[in-house]
Amino acid sequence: MCGIFGIYDHAEASNHAYLGLYALQHRGQESAGIVSSDEKQLYHYRQMGLVSEVFSRDILRRLHGRSAIGHVRYSTAGSSDLKNAQPFLVNYAKGMVSIAHNGNLTNAFLIRSELESRGSIFQSNMDTEVIVHLIARSKEKTFLDRTVHALRQVEGAYSLLFLTEKEMVAARDPMGFRPLILGSLKDSPVVASETCAFDLIGAKFIREIEPGEILLVNDAGIKSYKPFPHKQLRQCIFEFIYFARPDSFIFNHNVYEIRKSLGAQLAREAPAEADMVIPIPDSGFPSTLGYASESKLPFEIGMIRNHYIGRTFIEPEQRIRHFGVKIKLNPVKELLKGKRIVTVDDSIVRATTSRKINRMIRNAGVKEVHVRISSPPITGPCFFGIDTPKKSELIASSHNLREIQKFIHATSLNYLSIGGLKKCVRGEEENFCYACFTGDYPYPFLK
Ligand code: AMP
Interval 259-282 mean pLDDT: 97
Q: What's the gap in Å between 354 CA and the centre of ligand 1?
A: 10
Q: What angle do CA 357, 360, 361 make, to 5 degrees?
A: 85
Interval 109-128 mean pLDDT: 92
pLDDT of residue 319: 55
pLDDT of residue 285: 97
**Alpha carbon distance 60, 38 (integer Å):** 14
Instruction: Output the ligand 1 site: residues, CB below 6 A.
Output: 242, 280, 283, 313-314, 345-354, 386-388
Residue 388 alpha carbon, nearest atom of ligand 1:
19
- Judged against a pLDDT cut of 70, whether residue 324 lies above it is answered with no
pLDDT of residue 388: 79
Q: How confident is the model at residue 322 (pLDDT cuts 50, 70, 90)?
A: low
- Judged against a pLDDT cut of 70, whether residue 321 lies above it is answered with no
- Ranking 78-87, 151-160, 214-223, 227-236 by mean pLDDT, the lowest is 78-87
Give the active site residue among 2, 382, 424, 433.
2
Residue 314 alpha carbon, nearest atom of ligand 1:
21
pLDDT of residue 76: 59
Q: What's the gap in Å between 347 CA and the centre of ligand 1?
A: 6
Interval 79-84 mean pLDDT: 81
Choose between 323 and 262: higher pLDDT: 262
Work out whether strand 181-185 and strand 168-172 pair parallel, antiparallel, or are unpaired: unpaired
**Alpha carbon distance 377, 400 (integer Å):** 10
- Ranking 161-165, 334-338, 349-353 by mean pLDDT, the lowest is 349-353
Residue 351 alpha carbon, nearest atom of ligand 1:
4
The per-residue pLDDT for range 382-439, each reduced to its tens digit, is: 999 888 778 999 999 999 999 999 999 999 999 999 999 999 999 999 999 999 999 9
Residue identifier of the C-alpha nearest atom 20 of ligand 1: 387
- Ranking 23-37, 325-339, 426-440 by mean pLDDT, the lowest is 325-339
Choose between 319 and 143: higher pLDDT: 143
Domains, the chain, in order of start with CATH, read 3-231 (3.60.20.10), 254-446 (3.40.50.2020)
- Judged against a pLDDT cut of 60, whether residue 310 lies above it is answered with no
Interval 365-389 mean pLDDT: 94
Residue 350 alpha carbon, nearest atom of ligand 1:
3
- Judged against a pLDDT cut of 90, whether residue 320 lies above it is answered with no
- Ranking 38-42, 182-186, 387-391 by mean pLDDT, the lowest is 387-391
Is-catalytic flag, 236? no
Q: What number of CA atoms fall less than 13 Å from residue 190's CA on the CB side?
A: 33
The per-residue pLDDT for range 89-110, each reduced to its tens digit, is: 999 999 999 999 999 999 999 9
Q: What 3 state SS string does the chain have?
A: CEEEEEECCCCCHHHHHHHHHHHCHHHCCCEEEEEEECCCCEEEEEEECCHHHHCCHHHHHHCCCCEEEEEEECCCCCCCCHHHCCCEEEEECCEEEEEEEEEEECCHHHHHHHHHHCCCCCCCCCCCHHHHHHHHHCCCCCHHHHHHHHHCCCCEEEEEEEEECCCEEEEECCCCCCCCEEEEECCEEEEECCCHHHHHHCCEEEEECCCCCEEEEECCEEEEECCCCCCCCCEEHHHHHHHCCCCCEECCEEHHHHHHHHHHHHHHHCCCCCCEEEECCCCCHHHHHHHHHHHCCCECCCEEECCCCCCHHHCCCHHHHHHHHHHHEEECHHHHCCCEEEEEECCCCCCHHHHHHHHHHHHCCCCEEEEEECCCCCCCCCCCCCCCCCHHHCHHHHCCHHHHHHHCCCCEEEECCHHHHHHCCCCCHHHEECHHHHCCCCCCCCC
Q: How confident is the model at residue 312 (pLDDT cuts 50, 70, 90)?
A: very low
Work out whether strand 253-254 and strand 249-250 pair parallel, antiparallel, or are unpaired: antiparallel
Q: Give the amino acid at 398.
A: S
**Alpha carbon distance 8, 188 (integer Å):** 6
Q: What's the gap in Å between 134 CA and the centre of ligand 1?
A: 35
Average per-residue pLDDT for the chain? 94
- Judged against a pLDDT cut of 70, whether residue 137 lies above it is answered with yes
- Residue 26 and residue 2 in contact, taking contact as beta carbons nearer than 8 Å: no
How much of the chain exceeds pLDDT 70, in percent? 95
Q: What's the gap in Å between 256 CA and the centre of ligand 1?
A: 18
Nearest residue to 414 (alpha-carbon basis) of 323, 325, 295:
295
- Judged against a pLDDT cut of 60, whether residue 238 lies above it is answered with yes
Supply φ then ψ for residue 18, to 5 degrees: -60, -50
Choose between 328 and 203: higher pLDDT: 203
pLDDT of residue 65: 98
Q: What's the gap in Å between 122 CA and the centre of ligand 1?
A: 32
Is residue 53 classed exposed, middle or buried when 0-12, 13-18 and 19+ CB atoms within 10 A define those classes? exposed
Residue identifier of the C-alpha nearest atom 11 of ligand 1: 347
